[in-house]
Amino acid sequence: MLDYPKALMCVFVLMVLQVSVTPQLYPFGGGPDLIAILVVALALWRGIELAAVAGFVGGLLLDAVLYRHLGMTSLAYLACAWMVTSFAGRGEAGAGMLEPAPPRPLPWVIAGALLVQLCLVAVQVLLGVSYDLGFLVWHQIVPSLLQTTLLALLLLPLLRRLFRPTRIRPDVSAAAAV
């Protein structure tokens, strides 16, 4: 149960860093998506529930602070959490069985960050915002992916310490303890 407070604290800290610090470090435009790294890590190591809640709250905070349409980024992070848990290949384990080891997170961070960017573009387009495709790709999506990947190399080990992947299903181990 401590996962939720820890995850929400991480969401808040990463959101603050994302809106206050990383905009100053844009070398090529765009910006790293720290919340996406957290959502992917949680989806891989803790399942979709925690990842979805963290993504929803993180997206909501980002939209609120950046004065964007509320819910837009939350939707993108929810899609990211769903995609990672659905396609990362971590199947359900039976009662008392060891769950398979989670896959390497970095490729999923890249895929998740890309999906978030695409979802944000899709929602914006649906809301009637027009984009120059070349500018969007080369000054927003690609730089954002590169920076997210670089920061994920630093952030993932820290998140792994906070949300160590479980090898035994928590509810089964709890039942066994009872």
Partner 1 sequence: MLLSKNRVIRRRAVVGLLVAASLTLLTMSYREGSTGVVGSVQNGAAEVTAPFASVAHRVTSPFVDAWHWTTGLIDARNQTAKLHRLEAQAGRDAALIKQLQQENTTLKGQAHYVQENPTFHPVSGSVIIQSPDSDTPSVMIGIGSNQGVQVNDPVVAPLSSGGALVGRVKEVTGSTATVQVLLDPAIGVTASVQNRQGANGTIVPSTGTPGELTMAEVPQSALVKDGDTVVTSGYTGRLKSLYPDGIPIGRVTYVQNDDLGQQSKQIQVTPFVNFDNLSGVVVLELK
Residues that bind partner 1 (CB under 8 A): 12, 15-17, 19-21, 24-25, 27, 47-49, 52-53, 55-56, 59-61, 63-65, 67, 69-72, 74-75, 78, 81-82, 92, 95, 123, 127, 171-172, 175
Nearest distance, CB of residue 21 and partner 1, angstroms? 5
> Closer CB to partner 1, residue 95 or residue 133?
95
Of 103, 42, 39, which Cα lies nearest the Cα of 76? 39
168 has which bridge partners? 98
> Closer CB to partner 1, residue 15 or residue 42?
15
Q: What are phi and psi of 98, to 5 degrees?
A: -75, 135
Nearest distance, CB of residue 81 and partner 1, angstroms? 8
> Closer CB to partner 1, residue 41 or residue 81?
81
Q: Which residues of 115-139 are buried (b: 16+ CB within 10 A; e: fewer)?
A: bbbebbbebbeeeeeeeeeeeeeee
> Closer CB to partner 1, residue 91 or residue 134?
91
Nearest distance, CB of residue 82 and partner 1, angstroms? 7
What is the 3-class SS of 55-88, one letter each residue? HHHHHHHHHHHCCCCCCHHHHHHHHHHHHHHHHC
Nearest distance, CB of residue 32 and partner 1, angstroms? 13
Q: In whole angstroms, what is the distance from residue 51 CA to residue 162 CA?
A: 14
Nearest distance, CB of residue 71 and partner 1, angstroms? 3
SS3 53: helix
> Closer CB to partner 1, residue 129 or residue 135?
129
